[in-house]
Amino acid sequence: MTSAKYPISALPLASKSHLLIHNLTPDTHTPNHEQFRTKVLLETPSLQRRARLLPGPCHFSHVTPFPVPFPYAIEPPVPAPTDGKASYIENWLADREAVHPLPTPEKFPNSPLRKYAAKNRDQPLDLIGISETGLRDCVPHLDVGDAFAVIGTPSLAHEFDDEGDPQPSDIKEAVDARQDLIDVLSGQFTLMSAPEDSASPNNVPFSPWSLRYSGHQFGSWAGQLGDGRAITIHVTPHPSNPEETYELQLKGSGRTPFSRSADGLAVLRSSIREYLCSEAMEALHIPTTRALSLVSLPALPVHRERVETACVLTRMAPSFIRIGNFEAFNGPTNMFFFGGGQQKSDFEALRILGEWVARSVLKLDIELGKAWGEQMVLDIAKRNAKMVAGWQAYGFMHGVMNTDNISVLGLTIDFGPYAFMDVFDPNHICNHTDEGGRYAYKYQPNMIIYAIRALIDALAPLIGAEAESGGKAVPAGWAEGATSQKVEEWTTKGKELRDEAERIVQETAAVEYGRLMRKRLGLRRQDANDESKFFKPLLESMEQQNLDFHSTFRTLCSFKPSFLDQLDIDTITGTGTAPTETTDVSVSPALHNFIAKLLGGSSTPEKLNHGTATGEWLSWLDRYAERIRDEKSEWAGVVDVDAEREKEMRAANPRFVLRQWVLEEVIAKVERDSDSGKRVLAKVMHMACNPYEPWGAEDNDRPESELDKEEKEERRYCSLGEKKMLGFQCSCSS
């Protein structure tokens, strides 16, 4: 059954019980929606844009999107105002706030929110991407009108052809829905509840917000950080389950109180990277935040290493709360400096946040009045252990695993200088800012343990107090009047959870990693020595032979044990050791071609000792074939086991991967020409969302010359790329 569709300004709003802003503590400067809308936006809008520390108990601050150039070009009036400088700054900002209500759509007179327009900040807006899978999975009830049609037909090779050009609809409703989408998701218009609805019993006061959090960055305490360029503009229930809600968050939509010295904006380059990878991770079945849209603001300059243009990404998740949100209320030290610092501990705010996360975000089944702190920590540990296992199994490197970038839901979040592995190197560092290699590929599981320890440190006094109470939840005001000695006792007791949490992360990650690696190898049975017998030797061969991580797994999909039927490994190698270059290894044509294809994935074929490499593969493949044969009972009822195993493996090993060179090329094309570039972007998004398809006529016997242009480009986009791009590192600048 098809659910009703709504333009974004009429999209259903979650109930109060599902809204963070009605369950956590607001900034004292924006204490509620009504005061925010009528006072702050009109009289003191600079409160949203000034870097400041939130008062101790506060979890969030109301703030509206404000994508304008920064520093703000505020010219003092002539003659000078008699009431001082502050007034004309407030007036300048207020004149550009989205505070002018527009009429409710006729078709949706009971819309829960009203659309507010801004004046004096008009600029061109260009929809360059909309995610079909993000829309389908998270907000299937959102009407995007003719948004896909105006982007044009996805294509790698025909982006300049007339055929497939954007075709706007001639149906007014479709055009209006698309424009509504662009208006809101660009940050140029704002959704808030209307004052005339306040008397209604079903009214849910709503204004956008940004979250406060702190964190450890590269192992050093950074104090208050917060959503410096991210603003949640809507929360909507999924039409199939009202208990499942999604936040719609704009990234790059202007300054907030947490921006510190930054501009609150995001560049097109980094926005494209996050947009694509969010959906690519979902296709790989790795927990992640999701992407909805990209709206370019081509006239808005953003100063990074060079002057670039702005872009607003809309991302979605049930919650964007991180480990750093807990650290904000009980950090390791207090500090203050210009524009930032860290507040004193606030144990009541810690309790309020924890209860919300445990019951409403993680949805833990905890009896009312029972302790929740320990169970919540261990649940967050398990979720993140599964997430990082997915990273390791699919060669994903995050690059900035600071504690403020670790989601309590175990979602991959904040895609910055990330990378997928090319040539396998466990020491690879994808972020060139990470000079010490703290977040290198092989250290990522350890960094999850570090983040969970930071979470325990923040919650330790509460966990300790719950333990002291005999398993009861701490009540409101639980730490009032507690001496520093008592707090220290609770903290010491709470930190005893560290060992158990670390064990759970290691155990959960190992089990999940093993499950995923067996899936990638088409193995159905779990054996205790899988790691030592199959996974580790396979990765070691990749590393030693400079093989491409992903194409090696894809090639293994077509392996058949029968390739080795006429081969005696011990006879060939003498004692089972690898042959030398001069060893006479007589193999079947099928096996010869298969090993040649594996070794063809080397980035340094000129350095490859083919005899040694072939021997290593023969030894590993012999064990692999034996294991496959030994699993025959696992495939009971399957007529052609080889074909079925290959089918399953191809559904677990991507043909297309978001490599660094692909990202750089797509970004360059969109930056050069938006109209044609967005069609390339759409095709790459489609490939990223369907990575297991045989793109580029994979395994087709036709010569390259007989492939059509699109197939040739697909094949190129599935390749390792130019050697100079292998191991390419990005910066945190975005």
Between CA 174 and CA 500 the distance in angstroms is 55
Residue 253 contacts residue 231 (beta carbons within 8 Å): yes
In the 8-state DSSP scheme, what is residue 578? Answer: P
CA pseudo-torsion sign 174, 175, 180, 183: positive
In the 8-state DSSP scheme, what is residue 24? Answer: S
Burial of 424 (0-12, 13-18, 19+ CB in 10 A): buried
**Strand, coil or helix: what is 335?**
strand
Residue 734's closest CA among 412, 273, 322? 273
Burial of 705 (0-12, 13-18, 19+ CB in 10 A): exposed
**Hey, what amino acid is at 275?**
Y
Residue 488 contacts residue 367 (beta carbons within 8 Å): no
Q: What are the CA-CA distances from residue 47 to residues 26, 117, 121, 272 (Å)?
A: 14, 20, 19, 30
Q: What are the CA-CA distances from residue 236 to residues 245, 248, 605, 655 (Å)?
A: 5, 8, 53, 35
Helices 444-468 and 373-393: crossing angle, nearest 10°? Answer: 170
Residue 290's closest CA among 321, 315, 320, 322? 315
In the 8-state DSSP scheme, what is residue 48? Answer: H
Between CA 9 and CA 113 the distance in angstroms is 7
Residue 64, CA atoms < 13 Å, CB-side half-sphere: 30
Residue 164 contacts residue 130 (beta carbons within 8 Å): no
Between CA 572 and CA 582 the distance in angstroms is 12
The separation between the first and the last C-alpha atoms of the chain, rounded to the nearest angstrom, is 42
Q: What are the CA-CA distances from residue 117 to residues 122, 294, 299 (Å)?
A: 10, 20, 19
Residue 394 contacts residue 284 (beta carbons within 8 Å): yes
Between CA 276 and CA 274 the distance in angstroms is 5
**Hey, what amino acid is at 733?**
S
CA pseudo-torsion sign 425, 431, 433, 438: negative
404 in active site: yes
Residue 631: how many CB atoms within 10 A of its CB?
A: 16
Q: What are the CA-CA distances from residue 136 to residues 319, 341, 646 (Å)?
A: 18, 41, 29
Q: Which two tokens stand for residue 28?
A: 């004292």
Between CA 96 and CA 400 the distance in angstroms is 35
Of the residues 404, 414, 425, 457, only one is catalytic, namely: 404
- Residues 6 or more apart whose CB falls under 8 angstroms from that of 528 comprise none
Between CA 734 and CA 591 the distance in angstroms is 47
- Residues 6 or more apart whose CB falls under 8 angstroms from that of 242 comprise 15
Between CA 191 and CA 8 the distance in angstroms is 9
Q: What are the CA-CA distances from residue 73 to residues 68, 69, 88, 93, 125 (Å)?
A: 10, 8, 12, 10, 21
Active site residues: 404
